[in-house]
Amino acid sequence: MDSAVLLDLLGNENRRRILRLLSHKPCYVTEISEYLGVSPKAVIDHLRKLEDAGLIESHTDDRRRKYFHIARDVRLEVNVSRHGFGAKSAYPANPELDIQGRCPHMQMDLDARVGTADGADGADESGGEASQLAAEFDRLQDLENELSLAQRWVHGRITNLLDRVNDRLGIDADSRFYAKLLAAVRSTDGTTGAVTREVNADHEAVRDGLSRLAEADLLVRDGDRWRLPD
């Protein structure tokens, strides 16, 4: 998708709010209208623009109610600086992509790869200042490109993981919230209080979420603690 088109779409606050809502669950027009506090007609207009751009799509349930959901994952990168402006958008890389060979910076040694901040303050035996600046710019540009690829790869892997959570819990689940709960159980002592503090969420929502994960056999209750299944 062209980055200019995406920027125009996301320049509208209500469209951003719609996408934020749909990132948690599919919704129908009336539900979106109540969430935004705007008329259904205005919501339909926003949905049409998002649908025309390929960002969302719809499906109809057995009651013939039309639900909208995000159709595909896209990443938008914007760079604003005193030396230039740039924006690019791209669909995240395939989560199965092996980027280790293409991204040596995944195990970064920045001093070795791009030098120190003072590395271009004078000439040395390898050449003059202009040569140093050119070489440093080439290395930094390569690093910038590979970091962008790495971010897309991570985005793709996270999306794949959250899809798996949805498969276990159902499409209406807030998959990121449930993934955070699983991670919090793993990194704390497993008590509901500790998990609540870790994810910084409402205690009742955490308690209900932990119970739902247990019903899906993704957690086990052990007394007053939760743990991951063996």
2-11, 97-106, 135-144: least confident range: 97-106
CATH code assigned at 27: 1.10.10.10
How does pLDDT run across 49-96, given as a tens digit for each residue? 999 999 999 999 888 889 999 998 888 888 787 767 888 877 665 555
Residue 146 lies in a domain: yes
**Structure tokens belonging to residue 154:** 């991570």
Instruction: Compare 147 and 218 and report the one with higher pLDDT.
Output: 218
- 27 and 49: one domain? yes
**Structure tokens belonging to residue 218:** 């993704």
CB distance 67 to 56 below 8 Å: no
Task: Look up the domain containing 138 and give its range.
Answer: 93-167
pTM (global) more than 0.75: no
Distance between CA atoms of residues 204 and 210, nearest Å? 10
- 57 and 114: one domain? no
